[in-house]
Structure 1
């Protein structure tokens, strides 16, 4: 079965997440992604604050990239942010991109102040 998202793009997102957190800090924080259909959600993961809360790490949604399937010549990616009610909204002034790279750069730069607090 083929993925709904190009494998090359998934690897690019995985590398970006991996590079974003220094290896020496990954016992304290990780940046990961979750795939659901054509939506890639980037999450920040942290260990439990207290041992009695259990071993599960918590996840905070950072951003979502959505892939529109290709017409004859190629698909497009759009960038979305999550509000306090966990609803996703597109960033209207960020144009769609043919690959995730420009959108990952926007997340990192965070010019709108919506990705990290």
Structure 2
């Protein structure tokens, strides 16, 4: 008497996706598993270029001319995350120190805003409603949201 067939044996794929899921569902699950911890699925090229254009314009105009030698605003895009960064010149040094201000994350076609704690962990700000419009979220952060972002 042979061993009972494995429940995943009906699936002709190497992943552990139950055989009773449709092929499309299996593909979605396999694709999701391919994104490892710490990695992010990227936004589409059109959205990325639009965000870069918005952020380039914002960062060029965010700091008054008379303090640009002491402070800069920059950003980084990683997957579906856009991190707004304040840079200040280090004390008695030519180096610049980067301080994350906020992070915008696209999640199911809406942008959510996060803040970073002293241990580097990001937390969702639940009193800023998710919004499909990135510029609306950027404006909320720019205005400070009750002093949360700009010291």
Tell me which interval the TM-score lies in, with the shorter structure as reference length: 0.7 to 0.9
Count of residues in Structure 1 that have an aligned counterpart in Structure 2: 107
User: For the aligned residues, what is the CA RMSD?
Assistant: 1.7
TM-score for both structures, normalised by structure 2: 0.64
CA distance in structure 2 between the aligned counterparts of 1:57 and 1:9, rounded to whole angstroms: 24
Query: For residue 105 of structure 2, what is the aligned residue in structure 1?
Result: 66
Q: Which has the higher contact order (CA 8 A, sep 6+)?
A: 1
- Structure 1 length normalisation: TM-score? 0.80
Provide Cα deviations, 1:48-100, integer angstroms capped at 9, x if missing partner. Answer: 2113xxx321011100011236xxxxx22111111122211111021111121
**Where do 4+ consecutive residues of structure 1 move more than 4 Å?**
none
Partner Cα distance (1:30, 1:18) in 2: 9
Residue aligning to 2:72: 30
Q: Does the residue aligned with 1:49 lie in a helix, a strand or coil?
A: coil
Structure 1: gaps spanning 5 or more residues: 70-74
